[in-house]
Structure 1
């Protein structure tokens, strides 16, 4: 079997079964495990899967640049944003993550809402400029340009001084075994720190992130209080999430 054929079969198996175990796959094809592991390394280098101990899992499709992500699933993000905004009550202190869905949440907040929003995203802060009764606490630091959010020690210090009622977190991977993951180590640390400072952590999810894994772990699913997902998301994709006792809200369009 040619290398291109093996790689295509690996990706097809990932799409159908949600994982590839190197030893089982090598036995099935009667090839050495080293050959399959080399294929997995090369596919991971192309961003087509995420290697884990013993094999591979689907790579998140949510790792594109910010401009590209802004054009994806616009209606679903709007529905998720409205559902998230409905959870925010008068007097709440809210942490809003970076990313296109978080910006949509900011825009969906009622104009007469009296609350405080803390964020390390300049885009979220700008989106709240027309909300006269929302106090905005902008966390500073070095800008991670892929998501246009502040990271680093200065951001950590700012986050540590705020206690929030609710944190709307965005990630690139949501997996029952590997928890919440993202593509950058420092961004993962920032998200983890915000979650520790918040009474509730609510995931802004989407179908393409379920079952996917990125390189850096944020938190486990048992540290998540709820998830908002688009209404069209397949029920089988979230079954293992609900089994963990996590409340899942299906956002209507």
Structure 2
């Protein structure tokens, strides 16, 4: 088994089962304990887990990898994506954030005549063969586990464009209407996207109310539309509407 495959499996085991011993990981991955120890050292240095005596424990401040999150509330996300795509007009420039719901919006845009700008590799792969979509992929540092590009290069590239609409993702929406994210490194990219977009459409399934996240992306006044699946949290929906945000429940 290749090292990257082992690393992915180790992280998946920790997310699913919690703490694990070196002995248990070696048995489950059919490899030596010495190899597992080296893997844990590397993953700990990368900030992807925390080594403890005899094994490792998962970290609590990261988003789940893209493919794992994609399987959660899939039907609901598809319904949100379809409704969101209806709001986008042909020949517009659309800025698409990372995230599995935003990726599903991109899927609904196939066959359209648009300019799409994104920091998401998943979105780029979804639309790369679409002849009528001008696809612009932002530069930056690759965040492999979530298939996104981040950093000052990404932010600088965003500042060079203007978008008619932004499709924004989030880790959670607080009862105050504040949009939150679990990963600090993504927040400056999202804020840069907000600053260059005429209209901001937040796509969030009901699990994002109140959701999670330690880092504030924006307040309700920065949003124009929220597309979610009913029933959205009533208190949060009220706060959003009081801030003149259109809440569309699908």
Q: What TM-score, normalized by structure 1, do the two folds share?
A: 0.71
Distance, in Å, in 2 between the alignment partners of 1:213 and 1:178 is 13
Distance, in Å, in 1 between the alignment partners of 2:169 and 2:195 is 15
The answer to whether residue 217 in structure 2 is matched with residue 218 in structure 1 is yes
How big is each residue's C-alpha offset from its partner over 1:213-245, in whole Å with a ceiling of 9 and x where there is no partner?
411111111111110001343545523322322
How big is each residue's C-alpha offset from its partner over 1:182-241, in whole Å with a ceiling of 9 and x where there is no partner?
012220110000010101111001112112341111111111111000134354552332
**3-state DSSP class of the match of 2:157?**
helix
1:187-206 to 2 correspondence within 5 Å? 187-206=186-205
- Cα distance, 1:170 vs structure 2: 0.2
The answer on whether the counterparts of 2:182 and 2:212 sit within 8 Å (CA) in structure 1 is no
Question: 1:83: which partner in 2?
Answer: 83
How big is each residue's C-alpha offset from its partner over 1:75-99, in whole Å with a ceiling of 9 and x where there is no partner?
1010011011111111100001111
The answer on whether the counterparts of 1:172 and 1:214 sit within 8 Å (CA) in structure 2 is yes
Distance, in Å, in 2 between the alignment partners of 1:145 and 1:199 is 30
**3-state DSSP class of the match of 1:162?**
coil
Question: 1:132: which partner in 2?
Answer: 131
Bigger relative contact order (CA 8 A; separation at least 6):
1
Q: What TM-score, normalized by structure 2, do the two folds share?
A: 0.72
Distance, in Å, in 1 between the alignment partners of 2:163 and 2:153 is 18
144-153 or 76-85, which deviates more: 144-153
The answer to whether residue 116 in structure 2 is matched with residue 117 in structure 1 is yes
**3-state DSSP class of the match of 1:165?**
strand
**3-state DSSP class of the match of 2:146?**
coil
Question: 2:71: which partner in 1?
Answer: 71
How big is each residue's C-alpha offset from its partner over 1:109-136, in whole Å with a ceiling of 9 and x where there is no partner?
141x211000011110110123220100
The answer on whether the counterparts of 2:141 and 2:150 sit within 8 Å (CA) in structure 1 is yes
- In structure 2, do the counterparts of structure 1 residues 172 and 184 end up closer, same or farther at CA, with 3 Å as the change threshold? same
Distance, in Å, in 2 between the alignment partners of 1:146 and 1:184 is 12
Question: 1:228: which partner in 2?
Answer: 227
**3-state DSSP class of the match of 1:200?**
strand
- Structure 2 unaligned segments of length 5 or more: list them: 1-57
CA RMSD across the alignment: 2.1
1:18-33 to 2 correspondence within 5 Å? none
Distance, in Å, in 1 between the alignment partners of 2:235 and 2:219 is 20
Distance, in Å, in 2 between the alignment partners of 1:237 and 1:218 is 16
Distance, in Å, in 1 between the alignment partners of 2:107 and 2:129 is 9
Distance, in Å, in 2 between the alignment partners of 1:218 and 1:118 is 19
Distance, in Å, in 2 between the alignment partners of 1:74 and 1:201 is 23
- Structure 1 unaligned segments of length 5 or more: list them: 1-44, 51-61
